[in-house]
Amino acid sequence: MMALRELTQGDKKVPVLHSNNGPALVGLVTIAAHLAQEAKRPELLGGSAEHKALVQQWLEYRLTKVDGCHKDDIKTILKDLNSYLEDKVYLAGNQFTLADTLMYYGIHHIIVDLAIQEKEKHMNVTRWFDHVQHYTGVRHHLPPVVVLRNRVYTSGHH
Amino acid sequence: MALNLTINSSNPPLGALLTAEHVKGSVNVSVEEGKDNKLCVSQSVQFSDLNSITRYLARLAPSLGLYGSNMLEQTEVDHWLEFSAQRVCGQSGLAAALGELDKALELRTFLVGHSLTLADICVWAALKGSSEWQSMQTQAGAFSHVARWFAFLGSQVPFTAVGHKYTNSKAPSRNSNSE
């Protein structure tokens, strides 16, 4: 048995997980990592030492940069992510991890409001986002974001 | 149903080997080295064309979705099978083909739909066998979307297995291996 509650710390609400065995766990990333272990999916936290560190880095980025970001910060976040994702399929390289899930949930409200030109401008973010929203079991109740199909058919061949 | 795939060991057909590797959980297919590529389905039926071999293997295991999940995706897969045979392995400049491929991959993780299909396998295999692409890869920033997609697939399990086993004997790409 586990129970998820909210705790008010200052002006922020923080999730708390109570379970029958062990102490209560506090904080989004802590709880998410615990649930991945409970579900016997430790690979979601990364394989090698380097891979694990990368996952942690992006989980922290989500908490410190993305959550509660101001309107002016959104441009910077999109720009950073866009150049980072140019040569990557997932945030932590070539394997899907918890970092992808939590970043997807964290920036969904930003991407949903982007104009089509903005999505084209941040092409690598858009591609990653579209891939994650179609990843089995990730999107749930969130509204899908429309992404243009590829443009291969618009140009004539030969 | 037991199938037998014979491969030309001096110029292994990577696309067919990758497809065989992907379907081996659902289809009983054995691989033998020989002089020519052919897939023996029965005593009277055999395929020697690479695209026919990969298509047949993919159709035997529909649950894997290697041939796309609807009619539009199937047609897209066919488009890329032709593209890999005509444009990547063909004589006409690879740069033009890569430009087109790069554009198609801007907003895509996989070429067709949201998971791996024959399109990825066959275009990847054709590029892997191209010495021109190997030398282009050393130039940073050239066809960055193709480079990302190529490296991503190359890091996935069936690709690494087949890559290690067969690429050392791979001869520089030729237009065709049938005389």
Q: What is the pLDDT of residues A107-150, one digit of tens each?
A: 999 999 999 899 999 999 999 999 999 999 999 999 999 887 65
Instruction: Please state the pTM of the whole predicted model.
Output: 0.88
pLDDT band at residue B174 under the 50/70/90 scheme: very low
Q: Looking at residue B71, what is its pLDDT?
A: 93
Res. A53: pLDDT tops 70: yes
Take residue B179 and report the two structure tokens written for it: 């005389």
Q: Which of A87, A94, A147 sits opposite B107 (nearest CB)?
A: A147
Q: Which residues contact B174 (CB under 8 A, 6 or more apart)?
A: B11
Nearest residue in A to B80, CA atom = A152
The answer to whether the CB atoms of A131 and B114 lie below 8 A apart is yes
Bridge partners of A12, per DSSP, are A9
pLDDT band at residue B1 under the 50/70/90 scheme: low
Provide CATH code, domain A47-157: 1.20.1050.10
Tell me how crowded residue B17 is: count the other CB atoms within 10 A of its CB. 24
pLDDT, tens only, A74-96: 999 999 999 999 999 999 989 99
Rounded CA-CA distance B16/B124 in Å is 12
Nearest residue in B to A133, CA atom = B114
User: In chain B, what percentage of residues exceed pLDDT 90?
Assistant: 65
Res. B177: pLDDT tops 70: no
The domain spans of chain A are 1-40, 47-157
Q: Which of B77, B100, B106 to mutate to test the interface with A (most CBs of A within 10 A)?
A: B106
pLDDT band at residue A10 under the 50/70/90 scheme: confident
Rounded CA-CA distance B98/A152 in Å is 12
Q: Looking at residue B167, what is its pLDDT?
A: 67
Q: Looking at residue A151, what is its pLDDT?
A: 53
- Contact (CB, 8 A) for B122 and B54: yes
Res. B170: pLDDT tops 70: no
* Stretch 116-175 of chain B: residues touching chain A, C-beta under 8 Å: 144, 147-149, 151-152, 155-156
Helix (H, G, I), strand (E, B) or coil at B36: coil
ipTM of the complex: 0.85
Mean pLDDT of all residues belonging to chain B: 88
Number of H helices, E strands in chain B: 8, 4
Res. B152: pLDDT tops 90: yes
pLDDT, tens only, B103-112: 999 999 999 9
Rounded CA-CA distance B150/B15 in Å is 14
Bridge partners of B3, per DSSP, are B29
Residue B65 at interface with chain A, using a CB cutoff of 8 Å: no
List chain A residues with CB under 8 Å of B155.
Answer: 94
The answer to whether the CB atoms of B109 and A88 lie below 8 A apart is no
Q: Looking at residue A17, what is its pLDDT?
A: 93
Looking at per-residue pLDDT, the higher value among A34 and A69 belongs to A34
Residue owning tokens 């979705």: B65
Q: Looking at residue A132, what is its pLDDT?
A: 97
Res. A16: pLDDT tops 90: yes
Take residue A104 and report the two structure tokens written for it: 């997807």
The answer to whether the CB atoms of A127 and B151 lie below 8 A apart is no
Q: Which residues contact B85 (CB under 8 A, 6 or more apart)?
A: B50, B51, B122, B126
Residue B86 at interface with chain A, using a CB cutoff of 8 Å: no
List chain A residues with CB under 8 Å of B106.
Answer: 123, 127, 150-151
Helix H or strand E encompassing B159:
helix B157-166
Rounded alpha-carbon distances, angstroms, from residue A54 to A34, A69, B63: 17, 22, 34
Instruction: Tell which residue, B9, B17, B5, has the closest CA to residue B41.
Output: B5
